[in-house]
Amino acid sequence: MDVHQHFNGLKTAALFAAIIGLLLAVGGAISAATGSSIFIWVFALIGVGATAYGYWNSDKLAIRAMHAYPVTEAQAPAMHRIVRELSTAAGKPMPRLYISPTDAPNAFATGRNPANAAVCCTEGILRLLDERELRGVLGHELMHVYNRDILTSSVAAAVAGVISSVGQFLAFTSIFGGGDDEDSPNPLALIAMALLAPFAAMVIQFAISRTREYDADEDGARLTGDPLALASALRKLEHGTQRAPLPATPQLQNASHLMIANPFRAQDISRLFATHPPMAERIARLELAAHQQR
């Protein structure tokens, strides 16, 4: 488990280095397009602000998007019991627990650190899974918290959103701005930067998100000691999310990378931009882990 935390630290550093590099590149392009360096500072401050906002509010944003409500032990005894047992086994504080009133079966964890974390299950997943499978899912979500994946992905999403907004501004500038000076930047080059920068930011964010799903599957299975329970849950979720998908609204799209299964219809999101690795590959890895335990 410590090995994965070490690798996650490297992935986090690489992710932020790449996204900050993109932000600076786009800022430089805007500066070249407008002839003023002030835009570099403006968008740098916006990037810092978005990062800080994502850091402090990552739990509230996802909970609000899913209209989730907090639950007591009397309201959700099985969920509380499982999370308490797993948190104690991991030697970590118990997160706050929420339930989202939707038939779409899914679960997610959110929060900037283990002491300020929340785990949410939908009503649909609580009906779909038995207690053993639910334990596998909650182990997966807790490992996202303990590996600090939530903070990284939430801040990355915020910064990537800033880059996308900057790219749109750059596209507008390249089309409607600029002069006839032969030293002016090539408008086509600026349009290419405007399109490629947010595209690259999304690819980086999603690629990191996919690898973290594999790690949370493996670490969560190690925490519960039952890889096949999570494999069984994922198999049910693969069909359940297609029968009862979430609407692909902007708010839910921003929270979808936190969820254990892709919450949208397959046609609503391409394979390239899927934040989750293929379910069949995740299940195969868990089944191999169970075979190796024998």
- Which tens digits make up the pLDDT trace of 155-206? 666 666 666 666 666 666 555 555 455 555 556 656 666 666 667 666 666 6
pLDDT tens readout for residues 36-56: 777 667 766 766 676 677 667
d(CA 110, CA 289): 26
Instruction: Quickly state the pLDDT bin for 9 (edges 50, 70, 90).
Output: low
Q: Is 243 exposed, middle or buried (0-12, 13-18, 19+ CB in 10 A)?
A: exposed
DSSP string, 213-269: HHHHHHHHHHHHT-HHHHHHHHHHHHHHHHHSPPP--HHHHHHGGGBSS--S-GGGS
Taking each continuous run of H as one helix and of E as one strand, the counts in the chain are 10, 4
Catalytic residues: 141
CA dist., res. 44 & res. 207, Å (int): 24
- DSSP conformation class of 34: H
